[in-house]
A = this chain, B = another copy of it.
């Protein structure tokens, strides 16, 4: 079975935009036991799109085409799909009606270019886009099924998950040479990629049926395990054995698996314990609050956060004493502790979490260089404090400092030591 990808879009050929869609589809397909044979990207150039479509449809069993389904002048895919197939482009009345209704619901003016999205190659099957205006369509030409989806990542993912993969899964099931695969993504925090690799490399040798892959997703590092077998059971068992060994080697750095997000895992831990949290953060500028409040239902555990950039606000909102600030400076163990305890009191929360540090690029001193960050976690049983020297530019320091603070809380909740 031969499956290929064709992405369209000038922006993907200028280095301005990185294609994150294709790795998404590839990963999902891999979990189904198939690999993409080739992936290619062409610009918004009529001849290039038509040429690619015409040659691919005779080589592939399935082709995923993305991008160029929008309402603008450089959206050429539907037109090229019709030309390559030698059919007309026809206005689909259902799609047009739905587009108009959608615009009306939002009180948006329906301009003539919006109607372009209702033009579909004759004979193609139209599939509704649940999260956007561009409909998906499917052409069947000879042995090849061509799936046309929008390039906007949110829409691409919804349609790949909901429509493309189930159809491809059926094609795979019908394939007599099928290989069975099973995959697990283990997500770690607080561990550099090279350390993760060093801990896991010996395990890869004793699990020859499992491929070990690493992916940095700062501030996290992910370990992907992919097992193969002649039956599904064989693949599942090989995966389970490798996963067991990896968890043993890496815990408590592993915070979750597959679709877990760090914030949702932490939120679930807080909810399970009926605990609440309040934050006082300085150099991270709101990132800790933003992460804590990202999951749906965050209001059950997140009470509030004080982004205390100026020193006056550290006193006013988090009860830091002027004497402490004068004696030790804003970036100090003492201030981090008073911030955590003060915000815990102000919010009447189970936990008070604080960060104060120097994100740079300026503001560092020989004593307190850029990257110096103090963390404190106030609890009913006392306050824990840590100091770290974060490496990197301003953005990276903020990112890793926010993750470290939240991981202090996670480890405390799990009782594995901060």
Residues of A within 8 A of B (CB): 10-18, 20, 22-30, 35-45, 48, 52, 70-74, 106, 108, 111, 113-114, 133, 152, 154, 183, 185, 192-195, 197-198, 201, 204, 211-216, 224, 226, 279, 284-294, 296-299, 302-310, 312-313, 316-317, 346-348, 360-363, 391, 394-396, 398
Min distance, Cβ A274 to any Cβ of chain B, angstroms: 15
Does the CB pair A40–B40 fall under 8 Å? Answer: yes
Given A38-B41, A113-B198, A307-B306, decide whether A213 and B20 contact each other with a Cβ distance below 8 A.
Answer: no
Q: In the complex, A113→B193 CA distance in Å?
A: 11
Given A113-B198, A286-B288, decide whether A73 and B13 contact each other with a Cβ distance below 8 A.
Answer: no
Q: In the complex, A10→B40 CA distance in Å?
A: 14
Q: Say what secondary structure dominates the interface of chain A.
A: mixed
Q: How many copies does the complex hold?
A: 2
Does the CB pair B302–A285 fall under 8 Å? Answer: yes
16 interchain pairs, CB-CB under 8 A = A10-B213, A11-B215, A13-B36, A16-B27, A17-B23, A18-B215, A38-B40, A106-B391, A285-B293, A286-B286, A286-B292, A294-B395, A304-B308, A305-B307, A305-B309, A316-B346
Q: Which residue of B lies closest to A105 (CB)?
A: B391
Q: In the complex, A62→B28 CA distance in Å?
A: 33
Chain B positions within 8 Å of A391 at CB level: 106
The residue that A296 contacts in the complex, of B14, B44, B313, B394, with Cβ under 8 A, is B394
Q: Which residue of B lies closest to A59 (CB)?
A: B51
